[in-house]
Amino acid sequence: MITLVNSRRYSMINTIENSRTEFKVKLVNDLEETVIGFLNSKDGGIIYLGVNDSGKIVGLSNNLDLLQRKIKDRIISNIEPSVLGLFDLEVLEEDTKKYLKITIARGLEKPYHLKGMGMTPDSCFIRVGTSNERMDDHLINKMFRERTRNSLKNIISPNQKLTFSDLKIYYKEKGFDVGDNFETQLGFFTPDGKYNYLAYLLADENTISVKVAKYTGDDVDELMENYEFGYCSLIKATYRVLEKFRVENKIYAKITYPERKEQPMYDYNAVREVIINALVHNDWSTEYPPKFEFFSDRLEVSSFGGIQSEFTEEEFLEGYSAPKNPELMRVFRDLELVEHLGTGIRKILKKYDKSIYHFFPHFIRVSIKYNQNEFEYDNIPNKKEINYSNLELTSVQEGIIGLILDRPNITQEEMANLLGVTSRTIRNHIKYLINNDYIERIGADKNGKWIVIKKESKKY
């Protein structure tokens, strides 16, 4: 490793600076960038401290014990994910000159980055030749997907102060016993006991933005409305997105004696499966949520991640696939949002042709044309428009009345799911609405229906 060259006054390192070797005369401010560059590279690397650019050993005059502690502290404290066990420090000496060898292994949880700055080009570096280059977004995302493609449970949640009140309520409503080990049973922890990204997605609060966009035309040039349903448990966001697509599904109708013909804009049950599939199978490691969009002539749902490499497009469309997020799939299945793996695709293709699917390297898009309006548009005879400004109702109570007008036989459990509240909350509001003559129950609990009562004192 060390060679004497023509003089006893100095020695040279028997290598040159390259993709695996870096020389530094002293401890510098950008040490972390070099370490990150090696961690993100294919082979790791070595940093020699006390060696100049020519490979001459100039030595270090510092207290080397103190210097080693300082370097170790900087590497551990300033780089994410954890680098423990991925580097080693060694003091070497030649001709009374002491220098430091820092060996960095190839990281297993790429991309490594400067702590507190997130995975951005300003904080992610990779070794290219003799320099440390900033990584672009594409490479950062590629590394992150490769690191986390097997399971959300291996990604550490960006927030470790999580609560799961909403999720526990959903589980209780399905008859599950929510005990002290609820979070452990659902796999909410990394091997070292930290909340993982699965927990983050299902927590009461997060930074995941789930939007539904509505455009005036058949492209994205003019946005009409943009609805935000995120920043909450993914389960609650799912119910809200489903409800939005149910409400947007207009009914085309034509009344011809003695019957009435109706046709919806789209098959809601098939679209429901599209939405659920997009949410369950989205590559959440990209940090991009699915896209839900309404255009003038169609609806589109896009999920990120593409088809898993081990399956073909044909196999995917036949319902053969493996869940990208098995832990998330388990929760959706517990809450009866999905049935069995693969059945969703088959349900969709019973109503629509395979041509609705468009495959790209990094995402899948489902595009469904609206049914042709061959009828006169009608809001359905029993549909009442309510001027809520004349009524002293809460938003939940308004939602209950709106659901009853659309679906008189709706259950209280369905109301709770669609409005994102508990069954107990629905029962309390139902009681208020009945006692104040807003609504009435007709018939038995099982086969009866709800009606909205029209009173002179309340203008509907």
What are the structure tokens assigned to 265, written together? 């804009």
Burial 375-408 (b: 16+ CB within 10 A, else e): beeeeeeeeeebeeeebebeebbebbbbbbbeee
Residue 264 near residue 248, CB atoms below 8 Å: no
Domains of the chain: 2-148 (3.30.950.30), 150-381 (3.30.565.60), 388-452 (1.10.10.10)
SS3 209: coil
Closest CA to 141 of 115, 121, 114, 161: 121
Give the DSSP letter of residue 377. Answer: B
Query: What are all long-range contacts of 318-326, with beta carbons under 8 Å and residues at least 24 apart?
Result: 318/345, 319/343, 319/345, 319/346, 321/281, 321/345, 323/280, 323/281, 324/149, 324/281, 324/282, 324/283, 325/151, 325/152, 325/198, 325/280, 325/281, 325/282, 325/284, 326/151
Cβ pair 209, 289 in contact under 8 A: yes
- Rounded-to-integer distance, Cα 276 and Cα 270, Å: 10
259 Cβ contact partners less than 8 Å away, ≥ 6 residues apart: none
Helix (H) or strand (E) holding 279: helix 268-281
Q: What is the pLDDT along the chain (460 residues), one digit of tens a residue?
A: 333 334 445 677 778 888 889 999 999 889 999 999 999 988 788 999 999 988 899 999 888 999 999 999 999 999 998 887 778 888 998 888 899 999 888 876 789 999 988 889 999 999 999 899 999 988 998 888 776 655 688 889 999 999 999 999 889 888 888 888 999 999 999 988 999 999 999 999 999 999 999 999 999 999 999 999 999 999 999 999 998 998 898 877 665 556 667 788 999 999 999 999 999 989 887 778 999 999 999 999 999 987 866 567 887 887 665 567 778 888 998 898 886 555 678 889 999 999 999 998 888 999 999 987 666 544 444 444 455 455 677 878 888 887 887 778 888 888 887 787 888 889 999 999 988 888 888 877 767 788 887 543 343 3
DSSP code of residue 89: E
Residues β-bridged to residue 47: 22, 102
Name the one residue in this structure whose structure tokens are 């100049």: 52
Q: Are 455 and 435 in contact (CB under 8 A)?
A: no
Please confirm whether the linkage preceding 81 is cis (ω < 30° from 0): yes
β strands within 329-401, DSSP E: 357-359, 363-369
- Provide, for the chain, the percentages of residues in helix, strand and coil under a 3-state DSSP scheme, each rounded to the nearest 5: 35, 25, 45
The pair of three-digit structure tokens given for residue 81, joined into one six-digit string:
């994910």
